[in-house]
Amino acid sequence: MRPRLIKPGTRCIRIPPLVLVALAVLAVALAACGTKGAAPTLGPIQTVKLDSAGPAATAGTITLTPVHAARFQVFYLGKQLPLTGARTPAQLRSGGCNGPLIAPLTDGNPSPAAPSASATPAPIATVQPAASGDAMQVAVEPSATLTVVVLARRDDPKAPVVACGQPLSGKRQFFDLYPPDVGTNGTARGIALLDPIIATRVDVSVRSTNQTTQPTGWEVTTGSCTGTKLGGGQLSGRAATAQGTIFATVDTHTWWVAVTQTDGERICSKVGG
């Protein structure tokens, strides 16, 4: 493949002619794109303790680990593919046009074939539409091994690949999507944008301290213990573990973590103390 790397800053913002304004705008553009298009630097891990003092019956920790992730926008035949209703769905694969599926980038992707009794199905990466609604966020490390694939039609396991392509690296860049039978010897049918971002992996490890109550779920909220929910999941058993992904950078000023119990009680702690 012959992908086209973005020159630092040029795709993020158009530089105006005035020199002083240009310098200021360029600084903002580079900060937004990361260092030469690379992913932003990962921050420190935050571990939050849940205290079972008083009437609470659950104790343990919730660990928030910054991780690299990626955001993708896909264009085919001159138009951006919508996340919903795409006639030619897009997906992310590993290692080439026919490589293993990593995650869907639009709807309309056929369900993976059922594995044989002796095979272990490959896990699909966590995905979430960006707040802008025009990009898909994927919990995967940006790299040159990723492949964006466009299928001929939706909801068809036998739909052929009509375009695919790989980036040169894990840095921010546009790269071309070519027909798989001719590759870079043909004419690009589409283009994809890879944008490295920071996500947060959430690891929950809690236990019940009595015989009558157990944890039922976890949440990360913003603003307060009962603020806007950023992510969460279910817990089961007196000793419970879980993992999740939040497509945002850890905020030690506004984030809270919480665990709910079978008795309805909510045990909260603020991230960062």
Residue 2's CB is within 10 A of a number of other CB atoms, namely: 11
Cα 41 → chain centroid: 16
The DSSP 8-state label assigned to residue 154 in this structure reads T
pLDDT digits 0-9 by tens, 153-167: 999 999 999 999 999
Q: For residues 255 and 221, state if they share a domain.
A: yes
Residue 99 lies in a domain: yes
Q: For residues 187 and 225, state if they share a domain.
A: no
Check which CATH number belongs to the domain holding 60 and give it: 2.60.40
pLDDT digits 0-9 by tens, 171-180: 999 999 999 9
Give 110's pLDDT tier (boundaries 50, 70, 90): confident
Q: Determine contact, residues 67/202, Cβ cutoff 8 Å.
A: no
C-alpha distance from residue 207 to each of 41, 203, 204, 217, 258 (Å)? 33, 14, 10, 12, 14
Q: How many domains would you assign to the chain?
A: 3
Q: How far is residue 140's CA from residue 133's CA, in Å, rounded to a whole number?
A: 19
Residue 116 lies in a domain: no
Q: For residues 255 and 168, state if they share a domain.
A: no
Q: For residues 8 and 61, state if they share a domain.
A: no
DSSP code string of 22-46? HHHHHHHHHHHH-GGGPPPPP---E
Q: For residues 102 and 173, state if they share a domain.
A: yes
Percentage of residues in the chain having pLDDT higher than 90: 69
Average pLDDT, the chain: 85
Residue 100 has pLDDT above 70, yes or no: yes
Q: How far is residue 267's CA from residue 135's CA, in Å, rounded to a whole number?
A: 35
Q: For residues 237 and 258, state if they share a domain.
A: yes
Q: Determine contact, residues 141/68, Cβ cutoff 8 Å.
A: yes
Residue 102 lies in a domain: yes
Strand pairing report for 173-177 and 4-5: antiparallel
Residue 52: its pLDDT value, please?
A: 62
Put the strands of the sheet holding 101-104 in their side by side order: 101-104, 90-94, 146-151, 161-165
Q: How far is residue 192's CA from residue 93's CA, in Å, rounded to a whole number?
A: 13
User: Domain containing 17: what range?
Assistant: 4-36
